[in-house]
Structure 1
Amino acid sequence: MTRDGKIRVMLVDNHQMVLDGLRAVLETYDEIEVVAASSTARAALELAPSVRPDIVLMDINMPHLNGIDCIERMKRQVPSARILMLSMHDSREYISTSIMRGASGYILKDVSTAEIVTAIQTVAQGGTYFSSGVSEALLDGGEKKARNLSARENDVLVMVADGNSNREIAARLNISEATVETHRKNIKRKLGIATTAGLTRYAIENQLHLSDQ
């Protein structure tokens, strides 16, 4: 913090309107000082050592280097900085990976300004903060989301988890590879999981099996 007790905040988001909006709002709070704003994670890494932020409020989806991959690098650059993720995604995979990488909090972009400030204050004092939607995603064991998958999507997910390629899945289910790829995209969208590794982990954790064909 600065000598006058203000929390030094760095903003990282590739949308300029978001950066401008956050800066304008946060600077209305006497206890917060926005010391820098960057539109890329790489630029933020270069800038951080000179501005020494207490809190890095960072988006996930950014070009070249995403926010999650930036967490460990940022903490190496400024070990005292605490990372607070600000994202539109409530994916369990994104949230848990952010935590494992060293983030101290995760809040959704649709929360109120007051909640963002509360999150900044909480994390700056050494605590952790997760907005309500994030907490629900962490507590959700996945069963509710799994029910949203069709029987065919369930089968594709199980086969993906077993290590089958699109070609192998297509042959087994007697569908085209393009259809398999469409199912994979729909599964990722419904479950909020971006990677094949994440899908595999999800299927194992939820003990999914092939449906009766």
Structure 2
Amino acid sequence: MSHPIIRVAIADDHPVIRMGIEAAIDEIPTLSCIGAVGDSSALVALLEQSACDVVVTDYAMPGGAFGDGLQLLDHLRTHFPDLRLIVMTGLDQPAMIQALHASGIDHILSKADDTSHVPAAIAAAWANRRYLSPSITQLLPARGAPRAIAALSPREHEVLVLFVSGLSVNEIATRLDRRKQTISTQKTAGMAKLGIDKDADLFKFASELGLRTARPDTE
């Protein structure tokens, strides 16, 4: 019995990674790479021109007209609903991976894992089965992937929402009528629960983490 050829598109802004993925796909006779591109504009153009079954895409891939991360994934799910999506990422923050998985992405590979997981993930995606590479599995809770935001206390959530909205620690302390040291402690504790240690990452992933929401009531 012959097996169908699974058509795969690759998107990553690093040429070496694209080559590695292509090499892994080329080793499997039932897989065919229809193209490898470096940004979301080229990916969407490729999908509009060529029939495709599975997309293997980087998560952080700046420069294209359709963005990257959840913005790109939402676009692909809306405009190419029959596509199976596999995300490869170098992210290692548990909160980021949990947010990605909670958004409905069931096929996630870490760039820290061997590229041999790529064909396995493609086969799983084709069969509508979940596939997480070993490093990704370690970053997710044992029972599913609840929103990481649930781990925050109401006050930690409140402080982080205000911080990503553009207020400084001093301004937050004034607005909430708390001591600056208290606000700083709550901010640090909240970021630690999200697995984030840099303010830049907190701003970058605020939307994915649900931090651009209405401010909750304080305790």
What is the CA-CA distance between 1:79 and the residue it aligns to?
2.0
In 2: Cα distance, 1:189 partner to 1:131 partner: 21
Residue 56 of structure 1 corresponds to: 55
Residue 79 of structure 1 corresponds to: 81
Alignment pair present for 1:16 and 2:19: no
In 2: Cα distance, 1:132 partner to 1:69 partner: 25
In 1: Cα distance, 2:208 partner to 2:136 partner: 21
Looking at secondary structure, tell me which structure has more helix per residue: 1
Tell me the SS of whatever aligns to 2:162.
Answer: coil
Trace 1:1-213 onto structure 2 (pairs within 5 A).
5-64=4-63, 65-139=67-141, 157=156, 160-161=159-160, 163=162, 165-166=167-168, 167-169=170-172, 172-174=178-180, 189-190=196-197, 194-195=205-206, 198=209
Q: Between the two proteins, what is the percent identity of the paired residues?
A: 19
In 1: Cα distance, 2:118 partner to 2:110 partner: 9
Counterpart residue identity of residue 88, structure 2: L
Residue 147 of structure 1 corresponds to: none
Over 6 Å off, 4+ runs? none
Unpaired runs of 5+ residues, structure 2, are 144-152, 213-218
Work out the number of aligned pairs and report it. Answer: 189
In 2: Cα distance, 1:39 partner to 1:108 partner: 18
What is the CA-CA distance between 1:34 and the residue it aligns to?
0.8
In 2: Cα distance, 1:196 partner to 1:44 partner: 23
Residue deviations 1:84-131, cap 9 Å, x none?
A: 110011334433443454423111111122222211111111111112
The structure with higher relative contact order (CA 8 Å, sep 6+) is 2
Over aligned residues, Cα RMSD in angstroms? Answer: 4.0
Unpaired runs of 5+ residues, structure 1, are 142-153, 202-208
TM-score for the superposition, normalised by structure 2: 0.67
Residue deviations 1:156-204, cap 9 Å, x none?
A: 95662473631334665457xxx99x969x7563397532773859xxx
TM-score for the superposition, normalised by structure 1: 0.69
